[in-house]
Amino acid sequence: MDYLTLRERPQQFLALTSLLPAEFDELLTDFAPAWEGYHRYHTLDGGKRRLPAHAERANAALAGSDTKLFFLLTYLKSNGLQQHQAASFGVSQTRVSRLATALLGVLNQVLGRRGLLPVRDGAELARHLAQHPEKVFAYDGVERGVPRNPDRDAQAAEYSAKKKPTA
């Protein structure tokens, strides 16, 4: 996939990344320095470099922070096979795995600094919701807990584990 070509097609760019080019650029302003800072001192496997890297290799398959962010967002959006992502960007499946792991860590740090990570604690969620009393929030839940009937005879009638013929 060619990042620069797809950037000229906003609808297709949105479909692949879930961001409009302007939103992508806004995220890139924080992602680029975060990635460059990480990559300068760490390898893709997360290990420390013996000497800091001064510049990206000229022959890098995914040259530039913008291409790397595009790579990661398409990877996360499509949730496809790593082999497909490798073929789309001209890298190996192993490299896709290593890149996705490293880039995702940096993206999570950037989103955390911007306060855009989902909350995982009920008390923290309550604090966030209290900050926006004028807004209406909807819970998108599919299942709800149905309490079990405490009466043993009613349980036997309602929750029989036996398979009964329908005919």
Which pTM value belongs to this model? 0.73
**pLDDT per position as a tens digit, 93-147:** 998 999 999 999 999 999 999 988 888 888 988 888 888 888 877 766 666 667 7
Which contacts (CB < 8 Å, 24+ apart) does range 3-11 have?
A: 3/66, 3/67, 3/70, 6/70
What are the tokens at 142? 């599919």
Backbone angles phi, psi at 81, to 5 degrees: -75, 145
**Per-residue model confidence (pLDDT) at position 102:** 92
Distance between CA atoms of residues 72 and 114, nearest Å: 18
Supply the pLDDT for residue 25.
95
Q: 129 near 137, Cβ under 8 Å?
A: yes
| Mean pLDDT score, 80-97 | 89
Residues of the chain with pLDDT > 90: what percent?
37
Bridge partners, 42 (sequence order): 48
Alpha helices in the chain (DSSP H): 3-7, 10-17, 21-41, 65-78, 82-89, 93-113, 122-130, 152-158
- Cβ 18 vs Cβ 77: under 8 Å: yes
Please report the pLDDT score of residue 161 as a whole number: 67
Higher pLDDT, 8 or 154: 8
| pLDDT-derived band at 48, boundaries 50, 70, 90 | confident
What's the pLDDT score for residue 1? 81
- pLDDT, mean over the chain: 85
Burial label, 138 (beta-carbon count in 10 A; 0-12, 13-18, 19+): exposed
